[in-house]
Chains A and B, each alone.
Chain A
Amino acid sequence: MKTCKEVHRLVIEGQDRQLSRMERISVRIHLMMCGACRRFEAQMGFLRQALRRFPGD
């Protein structure tokens, strides 16, 4: 079972490299159970979305 710290690291690395299958599965399982990490993942997704739209319409 991965800790929040480990999952946070994988979530952030997943923005820049393809995670392995095992990594992806362990992240998924953790996120199902952890609201804090889910919010962190959402923040990373938001960042990407915002930067793709920068400097706005």
Chain B
Amino acid sequence: MNGANSTGDAVRDPAFETELQHLRPTLLRFALLHLRDEQSAEDVVQDTFLAALQGRGKFAGRAQLKTWLVAILRNKIVDRIRQRGREAPLPGLDEDEGDADAFDALFAADGHWQEKPAAWGNPEASLQQSRFYDVLELCMKALPENLCRVFTMREILEMETEEICKELQISTSNCWVVLYRARMRLRECLQLRWFGEGVPAE
């Protein structure tokens, strides 16, 4: 008797469970970034572990364990957002976010760049460094909460813009403006904190 109340976990696998435990902090942080609520983050990570234990056979080492778990977790988070979105619309997202010309400063009156965008070199070089993802996370967290929420739904959870607008009950044009601002801020932050200092060689 092993207390199993669901199918598929009749065989215990301590080594696998240890690996899951090891990845728990990373997954929690990822969930928290999207859900911003510790309890919900705990819940989705637990659901992910349950799914992982049940679907252990399907995993079979084809991908990195972390990549596989993040894929499961992402779906759980999207489900959670879908449930939640209908209950609680995004606070503080209204017309004052519609100031689309906030980045006018980037351009001269004649429509040319004030300061030309820098070359970011070979992207692969950055994407292979774990420190890069720390900086990326830092930059996402530095976004105002509503920007961060819409943006991560779009880019990390890969939801369609239409659906995001619907879930959060905001207009399509407002949604675009929010995404626009988030992208510009993130770009600025990466320029400053990553590409500005130790730009990886091309």
- The majority secondary structure among interface residues of chain B is helix
Q: Are A56 and B156 in contact (CB under 8 A)?
A: no
Q: Are A50 and B123 in contact (CB under 8 A)?
A: yes
* A36 CB contacts on chain B under 8 angstroms: 113, 116-117
Q: Which residue of A lies closest to B126 (CB)?
A: A50
B164 to chain A, nearest CB (A): 9
Which of A12, A53, A55 is the most central at the interface, judged by chain B CB atoms within 10 Å of its CB? A55
Binary flags per residue of A1-25, CB closer than 8 Å to B gives 1, else 0? 0011110110011011100000000
Closest 3 CB pairs of A and B: A3-B111, A36-B116, A56-B133
Q: Which of B106, B107, B176 contacts A17 (CB 8 A)?
A: B176
* B106 CB contacts on chain A under 8 angstroms: 5, 8
Does any Cβ of A come within 8 Å of B79's Cβ? Answer: no
Q: Which of B112, B116, B154 contacts A39 (CB 8 A)?
A: B116
A27 to chain B, nearest CB (A): 14
Q: In which size bucket is the chain A interface?
A: 20 to 34
* A53 CB contacts on chain B under 8 angstroms: 127, 133
Q: Which residue of A lies closest to B155 (CB)?
A: A51
* A51 CB contacts on chain B under 8 angstroms: 136, 155-156
Q: Which residue of A lies closest to B181 (CB)?
A: A12
Does any Cβ of A come within 8 Å of B7's Cβ? Answer: no
B72 to chain A, nearest CB (A): 14
Q: Are B30 and A55 in contact (CB under 8 A)?
A: yes
Task: List 30 interface pairs A-B (beta carbons < 8 Å), by A numbering.
Answer: A3-B107, A3-B110, A3-B112, A4-B107, A5-B107, A8-B106, A8-B107, A9-B180, A16-B180, A36-B113, A37-B117, A39-B118, A40-B117, A43-B117, A43-B187, A47-B155, A47-B183, A47-B187, A48-B155, A49-B123, A50-B132, A50-B133, A51-B156, A54-B133, A54-B137, A56-B130, A56-B133, A57-B64, A57-B66, A57-B67
